[in-house]
Structure 1
Amino acid sequence: MKKYHTQKSPFIVPTTDGKLIEEHFGKASDGNNDISIAHMIAPPHWSEPFQTPEFDEYTYIIKGKKQFIIEDEVVILEAGQSIKIEKNTRVQYSNPFDEVCEYIAICTPAFDFEKVHREEA
Structure 2
Amino acid sequence: MSQKKYTVQDSPFIVPTTDGKIIKEHFGNTTDGNSEISIAHMVAPAGWSEPFQTPEFDEYTFIIKGKKQFIIEEDTVILEAGQSIKIEKNTRVQYSNPFTEACEYIAICTPAFSIDLVNREA
TM-score by length of 2: 0.98
Q: What percentage of residue pairs aligned between the two structures are identical?
A: 78
Report Cα offsets for 1:47-66 as digits up to 9, x if no partner: 00000000000000000000
SS at match of 2:31: helix
The residue that corresponds to 1:68 in the other structure is 70
Letter in 1 for 2:86: K
Q: 1:113 aligns with which of 91, 112, 115?
A: 115
Q: 1:83 aligns with which of 49, 71, 85?
A: 85
Runs of 4+ in 1 over 3 A off after TM superposition: none
What RMSD, in angstroms, separates the aligned Cα atoms of the two structures?
A: 0.3
The residue that corresponds to 2:59 in the other structure is 57
Gaps (5+ residues) in structure 1?
none
The residue that corresponds to 1:98 in the other structure is 100
> How far apart are 1:39 and its partner, in Å?
0.1
Gaps (5+ residues) in structure 2?
none
> How far apart are 1:35 and its partner, in Å?
0.2
The residue that corresponds to 1:25 in the other structure is 27
TM-score by length of 1: 0.99
Letter in 2 for 1:98: T
Query: Aligned partners of 1:72, 1:27: CA distance in 2, in Å?
Result: 31
> How far apart are 1:83 and its partner, in Å?
0.1
The residue that corresponds to 1:44 in the other structure is 46
Query: Aligned partners of 2:120, 2:18: CA distance in 1, in Å?
Result: 15
Give the total of aligned pairs. Answer: 120
Query: Aligned partners of 2:74, 2:105: CA distance in 1, in Å?
Result: 23
Query: Aligned partners of 1:115, 1:80: CA distance in 2, in Å?
Result: 28
